């Protein structure tokens, strides 16, 4: 469960305060599928960084599974990312010369999981991301964009996080493969995973159950998505 | 992240860019290789010099006469005739554990029918063979009975034997004539070889009494050779000899002693210090190439950190701490220099083999230089890998992930 209360974030480029987030509050329950939508410059990326424990807010509180992580140190934040968050990036960010299984098991190395179990869990995660079994030991730079994003999803799943955080996951994909990725998120959500999708595209956001609209660092609108698009894989 | 994972990640990263890794370690390979080869040359030179000094005799102390003075005129070092058989006997009886052999050495014309040569004739006692490390090839050395009876017998060096009798002729039983006196050859020594310009096989050894009374007509000795029981007691025995001889010669001021006591270890250490300087010079030139190699490593690591900024961002996003990133890049640098160090040791070995085979120089690759090479390459890895690793670990994950 995610609870953020009156979060602000300011940057000081050139010594002048720039308020990117001006007091944002919302709650995401376990098992929800939420899209955070807004145009570029709205502050949605900053929200993603704070939700993903990559950054700390200037003020306000962020409770993740009951713990206030807003005041955590760098190393404590790294632990939160390791154990509770799974990231899916627009640019996939796979290790190019490594096999698919190796890419997926990478987070488990930092979690100190023994080697044999790493591989088992990586294969399990790849299966639940719907990745083609025959390509498990291909190098990741031999894959298509859609396949790469599924590897990235599997990597996000592998340490069974509380929250899957996807930042423009379809941004580098064509509509068809983008739909497959969105369908994968829907299926994972149906299996009980909490998914937060950050996007500027209304079409992508409409695949979520709930849309939080951000504009100029504030929540413009936060409501249930009445006409959810459902993708059947 | 445990160490086997760290090692695996590191080797993976280095092997995924084989050409670059290979080129980067080349500097270290050449640096370590040349350090090892240079130290091997220095060590080899030192060993051969030491061996030739040691072949004169081990734990050897030599008492030489000092200068003879008449009034203020000095006749030069070695001219004094103050050392006597009695001095030698006193050293043998007063100082425990030593072997003493006085000798009187002069050059004479040695004649056999149809041939003659000029060589040094050493009049000495039976202990000389042991102190000066001569081995008897055939026959026997002079005995104390022969010394007592002023026997006219001689032991011949192999070079003198071949000069007088020709190669392959057994000299034992033959007669040589020195100053009109016939000497019966009773033994021949094993060749010691020549050390530089000094031929150690060109001599005749006869009983000291014969040399003093029948040949030279004097009763002094030219030098006294003393063998100490071991290396550690050398300095102490040297001091005892000095004190004893000062007392016997009734000299109160050691500065005006009419003899000098020389220690073989002094000669060895002088020679060693020369070769040490030589080794240090060679090795430091080679060491400069190591530093250049290290800078190459740092350069490559900085490039790698920039190139892999997104990877670093990703690793941080999935839970790597600063320490993990730091260790990973430091390990990459150390592994590079270790691989370079290992190949450098192989190269150094090959170089020193080539040098000793084709240039005829003695070389010796010592364990010390290998350990030094490994230590130095590890230190280079740490020193030159530290800054790039720090830079990697301090990257902000958000900016690193956005890096294009």
* A149-159: burial string, b at 16+ Cβ within 10 Å, e else: bbbbbbbbbbb
Q: Looking at beta carbons, which residues of chain A come within 8 Å of B319?
A: 78-79, 81-83, 107, 110-111, 159
What residue segments make up the domains of chain A, in order of their start? 29-56+77-224
Domain A29-56+77-224 has CATH 3.10.180.10: no
Contact state of B398 with A81 under an 8 Å Cβ cutoff: no
Asked if B111 contacts B99 with a C-beta cutoff of 8 angstroms, the reply is no
Tell me what pLDDT residue B177 has. 93
Asked if B286 contacts B34 with a C-beta cutoff of 8 angstroms, the reply is yes
More confident residue, B260 or A120: A120
In this structure, are B143 and B276 located in the same domain? Answer: no
Mean pLDDT over the full length of chain B: 86
At B79, the pLDDT band (50, 70, 90 cuts) reads: low
Please tell me the distance from the alpha carbon of residue B89 to that of residue B248, in angstroms, as a whole number. Answer: 12
Residue range(s) defining the domain that contains residue B11: 3-52+270-402
In this structure, are B80 and B182 located in the same domain? Answer: yes
In this structure, are B364 and B243 located in the same domain? Answer: no
In this structure, are B19 and B153 located in the same domain? Answer: no
In this structure, are B17 and B76 located in the same domain? Answer: no
Contact state of A110 with B324 under an 8 Å Cβ cutoff: yes
Tell me what pLDDT residue B78 has. 57
Distances in whole angstroms, Cα of residue A206 to Cα of each of A30, A201, B115: 19, 9, 120
In this structure, are B340 and B199 located in the same domain? Answer: no
In this structure, are B121 and B29 located in the same domain? Answer: no
Asked if B77 contacts B195 with a C-beta cutoff of 8 angstroms, the reply is no
Asked if B155 contacts B205 with a C-beta cutoff of 8 angstroms, the reply is yes
- How many independent structural domains does chain B possess? 2
Tell me what pLDDT residue B124 has. 93
Q: Looking at beta carbons, which residues of chain B come within 8 Å of A82?
A: 318-319
- Mean pLDDT over B357-362 rounds to 78
Lowest mean pLDDT among B139-143, B167-171, B322-326: B167-171
Asked if B34 contacts B351 with a C-beta cutoff of 8 angstroms, the reply is yes
Contacts of B366 (CB under 8 A, 6+ apart): B39, B40, B43
Tell how far CA B108 is from the center of its chain.
35
Residue carrying structure tokens 């007592």: B148
Contact state of B311 with A95 under an 8 Å Cβ cutoff: yes
How many Cβ pairs closer than 8 A exist between chain A and B? 60
Provide the angle, in degrees to the nearest 10, between the axes of the packed helices A100-110 and A145-157: 30
Question: Among B242, B264, B286, where does a domain finish?
Answer: B264
Among all residues of chain A, which has the CA nearest to that of B316? A78
Start-to-end CA distance of chain B, whole Å, equals: 28
Inter-residue long-range contacts of A74-81, CB under 8 Å, 24+ positions, other chains counted: A74/B321, A74/B322, A75/B321, A75/B322, A75/B323, A77/A53, A78/B316, A78/B319, A78/B320, A78/B321, A78/B322, A79/B319, A80/A53, A81/A52, A81/A53, A81/A54, A81/B316, A81/B317, A81/B318, A81/B319
Q: Looking at beta carbons, which residues of chain B come within 8 Å of A95?
A: 311
Tell me what pLDDT residue B67 has. 66
Among all residues of chain A, which has the CA nearest to that of B4? A115
Distances in whole angstroms, Cα of residue B236 to Cα of each of A229, B8, B95: 102, 60, 10
Q: Looking at beta carbons, which residues of chain B come within 8 Å of A110?
A: 1, 315, 318-321, 324
For B263-309, what is each residue's pLDDT tens digit?
876 777 777 788 888 888 888 888 888 888 888 888 989 999 999 99
In this structure, are B119 and B246 located in the same domain? Answer: yes
Q: In a mutagenesis test of the B interface, which of A109, A111, A114 is the best target, namely the one with the most B β-carbons within 10 Å?
A: A109
- Which residues does chain A have with pLDDT short of 70? none
Contact state of A87 with B322 under an 8 Å Cβ cutoff: no
Contact state of B317 with A74 under an 8 Å Cβ cutoff: no
How distant is the Cα of B1 from the closest Cα of chain A, in angstroms?
5
Residue A101, classed as helix, strand or coil, is helix
For A110, which of B1, B310, B398 is closest by C-beta distance?
B1
Q: How many residues does chain B have?
A: 404
Q: Looking at beta carbons, which residues of chain A come within 8 Å of B331?
A: none
Asked if B7 contacts B269 with a C-beta cutoff of 8 angstroms, the reply is no
Instruction: Report the 10 Å Cβ neighbour count for B127.
Output: 20
Q: Looking at beta carbons, which residues of chain A come within 8 Å of B320?
A: 78, 110
How distant is the Cα of A101 from the closest Cα of chain B, in angstroms?
14
């Amino acid at each position: 469960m995610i609870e953020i209360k009156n979060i602000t974030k300011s940057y000081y480029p050139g010594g002048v305060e720039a308020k990117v987030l001006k007091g944002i509050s919302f709650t995401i329950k376990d098992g929800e599928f939420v899209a955070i939508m807004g145009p570029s410059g709205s502050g949605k990326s900053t929200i993603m960084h704070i939700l993903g424990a990559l950054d700390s807010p200037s003020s306000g509180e962020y409770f993740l599974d009951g713990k206030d992580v807003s005041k955590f140190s760098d190393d404590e934040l790294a632990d939160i990312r390791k154990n509770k968050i799974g990231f899916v990036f627009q640019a996939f960010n796979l290790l190019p010369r490594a096999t698919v299984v190796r890419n997926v098991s990478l987070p488990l190395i930092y979690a100190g999981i023994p080697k044999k179990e790493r591989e088992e869990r990586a294969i399990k995660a790849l299966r639940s991301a719907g990745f083609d079994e025959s390509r498990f030991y291909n190098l990741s730079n031999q894959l298509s964009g859609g396949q790469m994003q599924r590897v990235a999803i599997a990597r996000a799943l592998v340490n069974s996080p509380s929250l899957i955080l996807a930042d423009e996951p379809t941004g580098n994909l064509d509509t068809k493969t983008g739909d497959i990725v969105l369908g994968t998120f829907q299926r994972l959500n149906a299996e009980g995973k909490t998914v937060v999708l950050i996007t500027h595209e209304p079409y992508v956001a409409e695949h979520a159950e709930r849309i939080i609209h951000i504009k100029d660092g504030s929540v413009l609108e936060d409501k249930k998505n009445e006409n959810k698009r459902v993708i059947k894989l | 992240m445990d160490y086997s994972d760290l090692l695996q990640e590191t080797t993976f990263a280095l092997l995924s860019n084989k050409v670059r890794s290979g080129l980067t370690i080349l500097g270290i390979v050449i640096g370590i290789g040349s350090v090892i080869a240079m130290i091997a040359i220095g060590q080899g030179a030192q060993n051969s010099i030491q061996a030739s000094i040691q072949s004169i005799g081990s734990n050897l102390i030599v008492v030489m006469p000092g200068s003879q003075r008449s009034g203020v005129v000095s006749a030069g070092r070695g001219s004094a005739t103050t050392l006597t058989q009695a001095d030698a006997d006193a050293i043998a009886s007063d100082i425990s554990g030593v072997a003493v052999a006085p000798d009187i050495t002069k050059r004479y014309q040695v004649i056999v029918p149809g041939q003659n040569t000029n060589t040094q004739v050493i009049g000495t006692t039976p202990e000389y063979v042991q102190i000066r490390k001569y081995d008897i090839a055939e026959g026997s050395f002079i005995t104390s009975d022969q010394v007592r009876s002023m026997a006219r017998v001689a032991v011949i060096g192999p070079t003198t034997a071949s000069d007088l009798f020709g190669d392959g002729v057994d000299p034992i039983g033959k007669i040589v004539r020195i100053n009109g006196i016939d000497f019966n050859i009773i033994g021949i020594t094993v060749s010691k070889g020549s050390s530089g310009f000094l031929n150690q096989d060109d001599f005749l050894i006869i009983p000291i009494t014969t040399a003093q009374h029948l040949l030279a007509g004097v009763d002094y000795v030219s030098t006294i050779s003393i063998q100490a029981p071991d290396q550690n007691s050398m300095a102490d025995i040297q001091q005892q000899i000095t004190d004893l001889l000062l007392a016997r010669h009734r000299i109160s001021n050691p500065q005006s002693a009419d003899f000098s006591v020389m220690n073989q270890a002094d000669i060895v250490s002088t020679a060693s210090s020369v070769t040490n300087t030589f080794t240090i010079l060679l090795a430091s030139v080679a060491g400069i190439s190591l530093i250049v190699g290290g800078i190459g490593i740092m350069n490559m690591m900085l490039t790698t950190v920039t190139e892999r900024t997104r990877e670093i961002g990703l690793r941080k996003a999935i839970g790597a701490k600063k320490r993990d990133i730091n260790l990973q890049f430091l390990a990459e640098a150390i592994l590079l220099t270790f691989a370079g160090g290992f190949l450098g040791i192989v190269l150094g070995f090959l170089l020193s083999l080539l040098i000793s085979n084709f240039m005829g120089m003695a070389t010796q690759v010592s364990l010390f230089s290998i350990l030094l090479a490994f230590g130095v390459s590890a230190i280079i890895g740490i020193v030159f890998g530290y800054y790039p690793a720090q830079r990697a670990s301090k990257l902000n994950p958000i900016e690193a992930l956005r890096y294009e």
